[in-house]
Amino acid sequence: KAGVTQTPRYLIKTRGQQVTLSCSPISGHRSVSWYQQTPGQGLQFLFEYFSETQRNKGNFPGRFSGRQFSNSRSEMNVSTLELGDSALYLCASSASQTPGELFFGEGSRLTVL
């Protein structure tokens, strides 16, 4: 069974640009969550999608958005990038609607210059 796949793995952007990150969950998993990981703030929840609907959202500005497609694949977008957006963005899929095991991808490392 293939794991969670995130693309791209690495990317460099400049301030003010926007970025789109993609996530393919484990087959059969309908829940996809996104987390931001930084050395200073650790792992912080961005949002969760289940069956194309956003179920939960963390405390991030509106520049951070996401969506989920009918095949459960998900994308997140960050507009008007700031230096502080440099981070590892992790996607996780789950088979459960209630709190359960998260299967994380290896992440997309974003550097904003």
Q: What residues line the site for another protein (CB under 8 A)? A: 4, 31, 33, 35, 42-45, 48, 50, 55-56, 58, 90, 92, 94, 96-107
3-state percent helix, strand, coil for the chain, nearest multiple of 5: 5, 55, 45
Please, which residue, 15 or 69, has the CB nearer to another protein? 69
Q: What is the closest distance, in whole angstroms, from the C-beta atom of residue 16 to another protein in the complex? A: 29
Q: What is the closest distance, in whole angstroms, from the C-beta atom of residue 90 to another protein in the complex? A: 5
Please, which residue, 46 or 81, has the CB nearer to another protein? 46
What distance in Å separates the CA atoms of residue 69 and residue 63, rounded to the nearest whole number? 20
**CA neighbor of 29 nearest in space, from 107, 106, 91:** 91
Q: What is the closest distance, in whole angstroms, from the C-beta atom of residue 85 to another protein in the complex? A: 19
Please, which residue, 4 or 112, has the CB nearer to another protein? 4
What distance in Å separates the CA atoms of residue 2 and residue 5, rounded to the nearest whole number? 8
Please, which residue, 1 or 101, has the CB nearer to another protein? 101
What distance in Å separates the CA atoms of residue 12 and residue 8, rounded to the nearest whole number? 10
Q: What is the closest distance, in whole angstroms, from the C-beta atom of residue 6 to another protein in the complex? A: 8
